[in-house]
Structure 1
Amino acid sequence: MSSTYTLPSSLATPAFHTFLTRLHNTLQTAFSHRRPWYELIDKTAFSRPLSISNATSRIRKNISYFRINYLTILSQILAFSLLSHPFSLCILLSLLAAWLFLYLFRPSDHPVIILGRVYSDRETLGGLITASIIVIFLTSIGSLIMTSMLIGLGVVCVHGAFRVPEDLFLDEQDSLGGIGMLSMLSSAATSAGAHMV
């Protein structure tokens, strides 16, 4: 009798709970650093850059100041692109779910069993990496993501080059150190390891 790995046991793991808590706290902290949108679209603060170096300097300063706003714009463009291609979105969500529940948040005492065969962590990781490479690089999903990101970066760079940063208070740099998906995943994995010991 063959059994397969079930998702509900993964959802009950301390690592998954820690991940969700950290994700919520990270998003809350990030959005607290967002600048008011009226500053971003203030028509009186736009002018043509005098040179390439002036445009580059403006982009650097504006990215530093409006980083959360720009990340929001990038994510909205990516989300719109994926929502306009629902099949690609379903495949990416399936791939993400496979990574989360078959590898990242799977309890160590629950091996992956498919069709009566037990797969080691190394085999599971290899299968997930292979599936990710196939999905992202050998299908149209990779070009869809790259196109969306390039459009988003183009919008950010054009805005950053034409937005005069002289009225922005750049000396109040807020550090968002430790905020990011990788730090959340590593913290969740560390916490899961502590709970298993």
Structure 2
Amino acid sequence: MSSLFSSFKGTAQSLTSIRRPWRDFFDITAVDIPTSSSDSTTRIAQNITHFRLNYTIVLLVILCLSLIYHPLAFVTFLVILLAWFFLYLARDRDEPIVIFGSLIDDRLVLAALVGLTLAGLVFTGVWRNVLVAVVVGVCFVILHAVLRSTDDLVMDDLESPYGHVLADGDEELDSPRGDYSGI
């Protein structure tokens, strides 16, 4: 039981370390119209990489708000969210999953969680609410990512979606096109 709490605490600390401050996320002075479609796609990639946990929280809040008038569905999806968190997102990938003495493959866990989520959608009858909430959330994320300028963002090269291009020539890269280095 204590290992479960220590695992939860460690995961919570690692997640809070990647969450960006909300004042940076909602910085109105950073709103700017992109100059081209290339600029838009670059902004989307950089903002989603930089604000990934903030976007996840926004999507989950929108989903919870869509289920507010369906308490059974809300509790069901809270349990499913906890299952996703503990069985897939928060666990160490090197640590195998053992259930009833049997070693369980990651793909089997992922398939079971997807099946559980779909069953929750069907049995609670709120699949339309969830679908609309996800569409609204994704539209918000894309709109924010396009309009939020990336000029003031500070990212590590490894965190950047273009990190493999910016990497030093000394690092070993698994690329079929060879080794890239910064110009």
Structure 1-normalised TM-score?
A: 0.55
8 Å contact 2:44–2:142 — kept in the other structure? yes
* Corresponding position of 2:147: 162
Which 5+ residue runs of structure 2 have no aligned equivalent?
85-96, 102-112, 161-183
Q: Deviation per CA, 1:28-49: give whole Å up to 9, x if none.
A: 2111221111111222211111
Letter of the 2:43 partner, please give it: R
> 1:169 corresponds to which letter in structure 2?
V
CA distance in 2, matches of 1:97, 1:63: 23
Pairing 1:53–2:38 present: yes
The CA deviation at 1:53 is: 2.4
Name the aligned partner's letter for residue 142 of structure 2: C
Residues 171 and 98 of structure 1, relative CA distance in 2, 3 Å threshold: closer
Partner of 1:143: 128
Number of equivalences: 137
Q: Does residue 82 of structure 1 match 2:67?
A: yes
Give deviations 1:49-88, integer Å, cap 9, x for gaps.
1222221110110111111211111121122222232132
Q: Which amino acid aligns with 1:80?
A: L
Match of 1:108 in 2: 100
CA distances 1:159-178 after superposition (whole Å, capped 9, x unpaired): 11001101111226559xxx
CA contact (8 A) 2:32 2:147 kept: yes
Give structure 1 stretches of 5+ with no counterpart.
1-13, 100-104, 110-127, 176-197
Aligned to 2:9: 24
TM, length-normalised to structure 2 = 0.59
- Larger Rg: 1 or 2? 1
Aligned-pair identity (%) = 31
Contact 1:33/1:174 (<8 A) preserved: no
- Deviation string, structure 1 residues 127-166 (Cα, Å, up to 9, x no partner): x997764432465333322222221111111011001101
Q: CA RMSD in A?
A: 3.5
- Kindly indicate whether the alpha-carbon contact (under 8 Å) linking 2:47 and 2:148 is maintained by their aligned counterparts in 1: yes
